[in-house]
Amino acid sequence: MEATVAKQKFGTAPVYFTAISTILGAILFLRFGFAVGTLGFWGTLLLIVMGHAVTIPTALAISELATNKRVEGGGEYFIISRSFGLNIGATIGIALYLSQAISVAFYIIAFTESFEFLFNFVAQRFSFVLPRQVVSLPVTVILGLMILRKGSNTGVKMLYAVIAILFVSLLLFFLGKPAQGSLATGQLPVRDIRNMSDFFIVFAICFPAFTGMTAGVGLSGNLRNPARAIPLGTILATATGIVVYVLVIWKLAISASPEEMLENQLIMGKIAIGGTVIIPLGLAASTLSSALGSVLVAPRTLQALAKDTSFSSMRLNRWLAAARNNDGEPVNATLVTLLIASAFVALGNVNAVAEIISMFFLVTYGSLCLISFLNHFGSSPSYRPSFRSKWYLSLTGFVVAVIVMFRINTLYALTASVLIVIIYSYINHYHKNRTGLESLFANTLFQINRNLQVYLQKSGSRRKEKEWRPGVICISKDSFRRERAFRLLNWLSYSYGFGTYLHRIDGYYSRSTSQQATEELAKLIELYETSHNHVYVDTIISPSYTSAIVQAIQVPGISGMENNMVVFEYDKENPENLPEIIDNIRLIKAGDFDICLLASASREMICNKGIHVWIDFNEPENASLLILLSFIISGHPDWKKSFIKVFSTCKPGQYEETRRELEGLITSGRLPITEKNVEIIEVTHGSSVKSLINEKSSTAAMVMTGFRPEALRQNGETILGGYDAAGTVLFVNSQYQKEIV
């Protein structure tokens, strides 16, 4: 209990000072002169604007996410993992941890540059070039031992002293004047912008300067009130950084020539009062404090990853998650961080390390902005942050982060992306049961679908002429006996429409029938789960077929469009449910629905045998719908190698008129039906269409023909019978003539 209290005792100040000490760090002292010398004042100002186009939305996103739920240890990793899910969170968290650990090396390498006087003295006195690692490696070891022995309390106390030195050095810099003999004019050149072709090269080197604003978030596990400290500390540090950055580049632009800034990386020392001492001291203070901040933050990210069992070895997870009993310090994670930092310290190149850090930070920042953006659109009731950013700022941050990654270094960006995919695949392999990403995107898709439904309903009511597309509904209790009805719905809804399949359960709504519905729905979803399935499946509990139909046809289509067609299905050889279908035809027609009656044959439906469509231009409403439906069905992958053959019947003497009408329909409708697949038949006295269908369509995969409800009511099942030689038959009745354009 004491350890817990000790861990969570910081307020806003450590968040602010950890962030600002990193923002006003190595890049400010070592590379801002290079940036102004290369790009000019206005070019560097644009660089600062672009850098903050990523970091400001990220700062606001972090502030928003931190006030939505309690942020525990792990800072940015905790926020990402609890929003995107543990697998995605661990993937990005590992990238974040590496960037934080490498940052330790980056700042220590930069810290070594404050000892330039020592390296120059050795070179001049002994004619020997002293390696930078002579200073940087011992500093790494000393810093690590101090943190390991004393913990975060000592680190935070050191921050206050370091910040004081840092601000004094910056104050003396602003009070300074151009160096004696300098070519600077003391005024800002009017058009001080140049070398914009090198903009992203300079941006890559300088971007780590902007990453400091999230440094304080990593202390989340040690804060009394993260929901207050993180937003306040982060936003204040970011605002302070912007002001100081602009003032520094302005001071550099009026106090030194481009040549001087490019030749001397510590040009600030030539301008500041007592700059020979105070600027190296400020550099040492800023880089040491930044390194200190990274040493405090990185191990806590690694510890949080281990606590979530992000690594495949449980022994490794337990070892990294371990904390010291007396103060809760993540000693093992700190040791690993120091080993990684030492490896990069040995590399010794500030610019090379800067590019690597930039990639990992951009991945993290882009992810945070994306989470905020998706949460804005997801509108989950559980998402109630007390601080809110704007969705367009979060989207801007995400887009800019992605663009900048590839503009800085395409190879590095691709490598980082591939590495992220590999890490995620590996984590997902041994943590198959962990989810979370689906929930975030599901909320967003729900909102998009909700808004689209309302829009479609409103726009549909305003349009006088509507382009017809199928909104099909089917109710069947034979789902586990025959699948033809579902397949027909899938064909109709694959590219052009929307299908709703309702499995009917006989009975009244009760606990037992509700449980049965849940179980059978799960079976249906598993049964019909294919890549080409585009049907919405559900169950309906009703004591009668009629009441089920009444319920179903009154419910709006979930696609945002009203249902306009009802499909009935029965066994052609054993039509036991056909009488109740016929009894409900009048009910369906009262609602102005098109009707399809699918007579399923027992023989296999071989799709490459084609669709035979039989039309009668004396029934123009049925003819138009038959042609449209055949075209829609043939667009499904099941019918990829199939064809449509059209038969048109007419009375004697009407052959030419029928041919012209049919050719005009096919040509104007741009239907994929060739002339050889069109046949016009004159029906003479004594012959019947049924006999012709049995004769000419006996081998077809499916036969389509029209029917009239009036004739069905008068003559009953005999109208639909007599197609013994044909296979599966689809009888179609259209409420009105569809325009084929």
Task: Please report the DSSP string for 84-117 in residue order.
Answer: H-HHHHHHHHHHHHHHHHHHHHHHHHHHHGGGHH
Residues 220 and 82: their CA atoms lie apart, in Å, by 14
Q: Are 372 and 65 in contact (CB under 8 A)?
A: yes
What pLDDT band is residue 300 in, cutting at 50, 70 and 90?
confident
Looking at the domain assignment, is residue 582 inside a domain? no
Paired with 120 in beta bridges are none
Q: Are 528 and 537 in contact (CB under 8 A)?
A: yes
Tokens 């942050």 correspond to 385
Q: What is the pLDDT of residue 2?
A: 39
3-state DSSP of 123-178: HHHHCCCCCCHHHHHHHHHHHHHHHHHHCHHHHHHHHHHHHHHHHHHHHHHHHCCC
**Average pLDDT score over residue span 618-637:** 86
| Residue 658's CATH number | 3.40.50.620
| Residue 220's CATH number | 1.20.1740.10
Residues 201 and 436: their CA atoms lie apart, in Å, by 37
Count of domains in the chain? 3
Does 561 or 280 have the greater pLDDT score? 280
Strand pairing report for 471-476 and 498-506: parallel
Least confident range from 60-74, 105-119, 508-522, 526-540: namely 60-74
Residues 478 and 598: their CA atoms lie apart, in Å, by 13
Share of the chain above pLDDT 70, in %: 82
By residue count, the chain amounts to 741
Domain of 535, in residue numbers: 469-568
Residues 259 and 664: their CA atoms lie apart, in Å, by 78
Which one, of 162, 224, 229, lies nearest residue 20 by Cα? 162
What pLDDT band is residue 448 in, cutting at 50, 70 and 90?
low
Residues 67 and 429: their CA atoms lie apart, in Å, by 33
Is the pLDDT at 287 greater than 60? The verdict is yes
Is the pLDDT at 27 greater than 90? The verdict is no
Residues 519 and 424 in one domain: no
Q: What is the pLDDT of residue 130?
A: 77
**pLDDT tens digit sequence for 658-708:** 888 777 777 665 566 777 788 888 887 767 888 899 989 999 999 999 998
Residues 37 and 68: their CA atoms lie apart, in Å, by 44
Looking at the domain assignment, is residue 574 inside a domain? no
Is the pLDDT at 381 greater than 70? The verdict is no
Is the pLDDT at 6 greater than 50? The verdict is no
What pLDDT band is residue 597 in, cutting at 50, 70 and 90?
very high
pTM of the model: 0.59
Strand pairing report for 611-616 and 498-506: unpaired
Q: What is the pLDDT of residue 42?
A: 92
Looking at the domain assignment, is residue 587 inside a domain? no
**Average pLDDT score over residue span 183-187:** 69
Residues 658 and 677: their CA atoms lie apart, in Å, by 15
Residues 540 and 669 in one domain: no
Looking at the domain assignment, is residue 588 inside a domain? no
Both tokens of residue 468? 């017809």
**pLDDT tens digit sequence for 323-349:** 877 767 788 888 898 888 888 887 766
Looking at the domain assignment, is residue 594 inside a domain? no
| Residue 502's CATH number | 3.40.50
**Average pLDDT score over residue span 104-128:** 80
Residues 678 and 732 in one domain: yes
Final residue belonging to a domain, choices 553, 568, 583: 568
Least confident range from 264-273, 313-322, 425-434, 483-492: namely 425-434
CA end-to-end span of the chain: 76
**Average pLDDT score over residue span 37-54:** 90
Q: What is the pLDDT of residue 93?
A: 84
Looking at the domain assignment, is residue 543 inside a domain? yes
Paired with 472 in beta bridges are 499, 565
Q: What is the pLDDT of residue 531?
A: 54
Helix (H, G, I), strand (E, B) or coil at 497: coil
Residues 247 and 395 in one domain: yes
Residues 400 and 476 in one domain: no
Task: Please report the DSSP string for 637-680 in residue order.
Answer: GGGTT--EEEEEEE-TT-HHHHHHHHHHHHHHTT-S--GGGEEE
Residues 623 and 511 in one domain: no
Residues 272 and 382 in one domain: yes
Residues 65 and 143 in one domain: yes
Residues 177 and 270: their CA atoms lie apart, in Å, by 9
Average pLDDT, the chain: 80
Is the pLDDT at 520 greater than 60? The verdict is yes
Residues 385 and 495 in one domain: no
Does 618 or 174 have the greater pLDDT score? 174
Q: Determine the residue type at 281.
A: L
Residues 563 and 698 in one domain: no
Residues 90 and 196 in one domain: yes
What pLDDT band is residue 1 in, cutting at 50, 70 and 90?
very low
Is the pLDDT at 595 greater than 90? The verdict is yes
Looking at the domain assignment, is residue 451 inside a domain? no
Residues 107 and 241 in one domain: yes
Does 492 or 209 have the greater pLDDT score? 492
Least confident range from 305-314, 508-517, 668-677: namely 668-677
Looking at the domain assignment, is residue 82 inside a domain? yes
If 0-12 CB within 10 Å is exposed, 13-18 middle and 19+ buried, where does residue 153 land? middle
Residues 489 and 499: their CA atoms lie apart, in Å, by 6
Q: What is the pLDDT of residue 564?
A: 87
Q: Determine the residue type at 51.
A: G
